Structure 1
């Protein structure tokens, strides 16, 4: 079922011309150019249809909810256009059918809020006058850009707090799939933890889903049973946080502030906010400036660390906040060598620093992370 909704908007850092007075927009890190023959033709606001394809339900209070807030920001910024969405799109031929239906319904811009690969690419190639964006995409086309968030930086900062608050040094991670976003998240989290506990380790359990509360709860339970006292993950709901609350452990979450599900367990969350990014891309599409880009929303401008939980000691919060400030002002980059993989091989030599491209495509585990590499 396709639904239509609208609501509020919010932004960050002024990037120049934008729809509506005072709209603020995040800086974005262009990591790989996507080439196009030229900007797509402008579209009158009253004729525009902006469609969103989601991997989960908009009620998940996580990843899909965050993108839904972005759609509502677009509807508020441009009240004459039409927005629509389909939630919980499967990774199958049904996805292709749904994205084709968006085009058939005269969508001039389509956002796939997760990586749908060939299910989306085939549709985009057949609709050259439609602007497409794929979140966490890997294959830009003349009319398809990709975007994601630099989540490895806040994951590192949250890892500092996790390492300080873990009596055992045994951390656990509930993983969706062994994909780059999981490798970068686990690695960054453990690297942060090891700045305060050099012997810390991170055990992962892969549940093969982005949204499966029952499986996430089971994985969280298994990790605590195995001795982990701080949990992290990339799930779209609060399952493992509730387990941590019940078992007296701690947890770091993803996407949104979920502390009410485990106020004593909650350390923080990796917070994502796509509202300003979506509003700017739609503005560019309407005025005829849109060409595909490959953007990473930066730390503090689309992805951040949530306010610390009520049980995080003040000195731990202060230490993590100081590192966050040094990352954001450019005086410190945590992803400098020497960095070894889980087999002991040097992957980043001393004196070298991983590029944003390498961080985005990270596909190997560091020493101390188990459960992802064969």
Structure 2
């Protein structure tokens, strides 16, 4: 049985005391293990594999990783590339990655978290450089990577709190996994800085890509009085609901405002290009070792999208003032006291949550409903 808690495929030193300059550098939960770098590979001999959870046409999560692959191809045109879409959470996943190794891949990126389904292959293919997005079990030949999405999410949450008339925010969730908990919590925390009475209702649809399910969830949230929709889906279904209902929406992954230009507020946008090019460069040069867990920070891999056409200038300015404080001063809003949905203090007063704690957040704060592990 697959542990859904560890299938958060979107994804760790603390930020406490970091400088403004350091805020623009990827943070590493774990530095490279004491391993010998894999030998150099000539570009023309390199075979690089990419495996995706969804279709590259989703205009969302998988599309963003495909764009990263395109950047790698442009940087290293002599290499050979393997790319597989729609890899299931089943034995077929293991078979697909085993086939990549058989085809001679010396570097493989899994753009989602598949856990043991990958490790069964990576633990044996020790001469291959492995990467697992949101991977949580580094090894000498495997590194994990993800993004600090909670910071731009908090910024967009401020805009939501200012734009919402009802104070009822809705969230279309994939699974009850850390990226959803940290996303809903950060979003509501941002909203509550301008509307202390704001609440957030989540609806879990048990899928990352299900336009029909996302549309039904968005409709149910709107029917329940939510006038601002947010979520973590790989398509635009609930944005279209917001457009039809005359309410607001913020998205994930990419700029898909064309599906709801009047409703669109912003998106939590992803950019893997620099990270992928850098890792391939290291592998070819014989400088790559595994064992790292890297979180790409806001401004370098993750950020908010340009504001939507109907977002008032004063709303954008108030939200961006906080974004600037994060980027320039290393400020974090995730400081206790923070209580969970049952009123129990989880983060004591004065404690600044570390990136590891934010990355592994698996409980809801006060005001969030609908999520259970």
TM-score if structure 1 supplies the norm length? 0.92
Classify the secondary structure of the residue corresponding to 2:30: coil
Classify the secondary structure of the residue corresponding to 2:180: helix
Higher RCO (C-alpha 8 Å, min separation 6): 2
Q: Equivalent residue for 2:366?
A: 367
Distance 1:38 1:289 in 2: 9
Q: Equivalent residue for 1:242?
A: 240
Moved more, 330-339 or 290-299: 330-339
Classify the secondary structure of the residue corresponding to 1:329: helix
Q: Equivalent residue for 1:66?
A: 64
* CA deviation after TM superposition for structure 1 residue 83, in Å: 1.4
1:120-269 equivalent positions in 2, closer than 5 A: 120-269=118-267
Q: Equivalent residue for 2:106?
A: 108
Distance 1:332 1:27 in 2: 15
Q: Equivalent residue for 1:288?
A: 286
Count of matched residue pairs: 349
Q: CA RMSD in A?
A: 0.9
Q: Equivalent residue for 1:55?
A: 53
Q: Is the 8 A contact 1:174 1:205 kept in 2?
A: yes
Distance 1:32 1:205 in 2: 34
1:29-108 equivalent positions in 2, closer than 5 A: 29-108=27-106
Which consecutive residues of structure 2, in runs of 5 or more, have no partner in the other structure?
A: 1-23
Distance 1:138 1:274 in 2: 18
* CA deviation after TM superposition for structure 1 residue 36, in Å: 4.8
Classify the secondary structure of the residue corresponding to 1:31: strand
Q: Is the 8 A contact 1:176 1:207 kept in 2?
A: yes
Q: 1:50 to 1:116 in 2, by over 3 A?
A: same
Q: Equivalent residue for 1:320?
A: 319
Q: Is the 8 A contact 1:36 1:141 kept in 2?
A: no
Which consecutive residues of structure 1, in runs of 5 or more, have no partner in the other structure?
A: 1-25
TM-score if structure 2 supplies the norm length? 0.92
1:331-346 equivalent positions in 2, closer than 5 A: 331-346=330-345
Distance 1:352 1:331 in 2: 15
Q: Is the 8 A contact 1:174 1:231 kept in 2?
A: yes
Distance 2:213 2:81 in 1: 33
Classify the secondary structure of the residue corresponding to 1:219: helix
* CA deviation after TM superposition for structure 1 residue 32, in Å: 2.0
Distance 2:369 2:86 in 1: 30
Distance 2:220 2:140 in 1: 45
Distance 2:252 2:32 in 1: 28
Q: Is the 8 A contact 1:159 1:189 kept in 2?
A: yes
Q: Equivalent residue for 2:350?
A: 351
Classify the secondary structure of the residue corresponding to 1:88: coil
Q: Equivalent residue for 2:19?
A: none
